[in-house]
């Protein structure tokens, strides 16, 4: 077997060089994307070893929550169950993916300390691992979404290609957020708690459990400036057979470009140091 490899590590040679090295890390992690997948798969399998339902346990509890909230809150808000349950179901599933990917992003590097401190693996591999792991969970939860869409008759009016486009924007954004919180959490150990508080607050401020059209006009900034709302709406609206506002795409594209730009330059600057933070 040809195992010949070459490794060259050099000292700092200016910011441009650091960006180059970060790009090289990105390329290397792309070439070994199957490794990230293996790690993600290993995470899922080993977390649920010895349980019967595996990750479907979360799906099950999510389903119960959707049923409870859908019926009870639908009654409280006086929204017919036929519209409220699909809304809540799609919302909880995709919002769950957003928040857990961000929350688990805090652990990306801290949790990989062992591997990072004795191998030359690309650092971004671990970011893809976190994202892919959550996409595997999402695939499980899609059972709920599909079931609800079929049961309540939304499956014919749903626009799947547009929803897929929304999912692309969603993943592109949560990936950089995940990397960002991963780096900061490695340096400052109190970040995960802060991140969790933020995602919790976001769950309340974002129309996951309540309908966006119920909000008074003067509070509309809560929707327009809320990144979580746009992330969610890009996927949820097409699945419920509604259109997505163009400014949502604009917001998400801008957020991805600016977010990746800033986060990647932070990554370039801290890449060498991350292993020492751990």
Partner 1 sequence: MKAPPVSISCRDLTLRFPVYGVDAKSLKKHLAKITVGGKLGRHHGSTDVTALSKLNLELKAGDRLGLIGHNGSGKTTLLRALSGAYEPDEGEIEVQGHIAALLDLNLGIDPTATGMDNIRLRGRIAGLSAKQVDERLPEIAEFSGLGPFLEMPVKTYSAGMQARLAFAAATAVEADVLLMDEWIAVGDADFQKIAHKRLLKLVERAGILVLASHDVELLRLYCNKVMRLEGGVASPVTDIKKLDELLAA
Alpha-carbon dihedral sign for residues 81, 83, 84, 87:
positive
Q: Which is nearer to partner 1, 190 or 213 (CB)?
A: 190
Near partner 1 by CB under 8 A: residue from 34, 161, 213, 218? 34
Distance (Å, rounded) from C-alpha 48 to C-alpha 40? 13
Spatial CA neighbour of 242 closest among 86, 69, 62: 86
The answer to the question of residue 195 lying near partner 1 (CB under 8 A) is: no
Distance (Å, rounded) from C-alpha 93 to C-alpha 91? 6
Distance (Å, rounded) from C-alpha 55 to C-alpha 49? 10
Q: Which is nearer to partner 1, 34 or 213 (CB)?
A: 34
Q: Which two tokens stand for residue 204?
A: 């309340």
Near partner 1 by CB under 8 A: residue from 65, 194, 198, 215? 194
Distance (Å, rounded) from C-alpha 255 to C-alpha 153? 34
Binding segment toward partner 1, per CB under 8 A, in 8-16, 99-107, 134-142, 147-155 = 8-16
How far CA 270 is from CA of 10, 91, 121, in Å, comes to: 15, 35, 16
CB of 11 to partner 1, least distance (A): 4
The site that binds partner 1 (CB under 8 A) totals a number of residues, namely 42
The answer to the question of residue 38 lying near partner 1 (CB under 8 A) is: yes
Residue 243 burial class via C-beta count within 10 angstroms: exposed 0-12, middle 13-18, buried 19 and up: exposed
Near partner 1 by CB under 8 A: residue from 24, 189, 220, 247? 189
The answer to the question of residue 14 lying near partner 1 (CB under 8 A) is: no
Q: Which two tokens stand for residue 241?
A: 């057979």
Near partner 1 by CB under 8 A: residue from 27, 42, 220, 247? 42
The answer to the question of residue 156 lying near partner 1 (CB under 8 A) is: no
Near partner 1 by CB under 8 A: residue from 121, 131, 158, 239? 121
Distance (Å, rounded) from C-alpha 44 to C-alpha 113? 19
**Four-point Cα dihedral 53, 178, 103, 226, nearest 10:** -110
The answer to the question of residue 202 lying near partner 1 (CB under 8 A) is: no
Q: Are 66 and 144 in contact (CB under 8 A)?
A: yes
Binding to partner 1 by CB under 8 A, coded x per residue (else -) over 207-246, reads ----------------------------------------
CB of 276 to partner 1, least distance (A): 5
* Residues in touch with partner 1 (CB under 8 A): 1-12, 32, 34-35, 38-39, 42, 45-46, 49, 113-121, 187-191, 194, 271-273, 275-277
């Amino acid at each position: 077997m040809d195992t010949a490899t070459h490794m060259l590590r050099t000292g700092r040679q200016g910011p441009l060089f650091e960006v180059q090295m970060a790009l090289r890390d990105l390329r290397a992690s792309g070439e070994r994307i199957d490794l990230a997948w293996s790690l993600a798969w290993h995470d899922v399998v080993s977390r649920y070893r010895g349980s019967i339902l595996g990750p479907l346990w979360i799906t099950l509890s999510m389903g119960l929550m959707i049923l409870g909230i859908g019926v009870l809150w639908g009654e409280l808000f006086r929204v017919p169950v036929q519209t409220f349950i699909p809304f809540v179901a799609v919302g909880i599933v995709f919002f769950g993916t957003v928040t857990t990917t961000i929350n688990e992003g805090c652990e990306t590097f801290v949790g990989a300390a062992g591997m990072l401190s004795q191998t030359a693996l690309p650092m971004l591999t671990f970011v893809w691992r976190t994202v892919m792991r959550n996409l595997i969970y999402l695939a499980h939860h899609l059972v709920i979404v599909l079931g609800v869409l079929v049961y309540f008759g939304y499956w014919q009016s749903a626009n799947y290609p547009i929803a897929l486009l929304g999912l692309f924007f969603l993943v592109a954004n949560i990936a950089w957020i995940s990397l960002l919180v991963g780096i900061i959490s490695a340096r400052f150990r109190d970040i995960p708690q802060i991140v969790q508080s933020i995602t919790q607050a976001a769950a309340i401020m974002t129309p996951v459990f309540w309908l966006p059209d119920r909000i008074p006009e003067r509070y509309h900034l809560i929707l327009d400036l809320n990144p979580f709302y746009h992330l969610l709406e890009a996927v949820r609206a097409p699945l419920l057979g509604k259109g997505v506002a163009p400014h949502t795409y604009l917001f998400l594209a801008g957020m991805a470009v600016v977010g990746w730009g800033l986060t990647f330059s932070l990554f370039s600057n801290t890449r060498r140091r991350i292993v020492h933070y751990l």
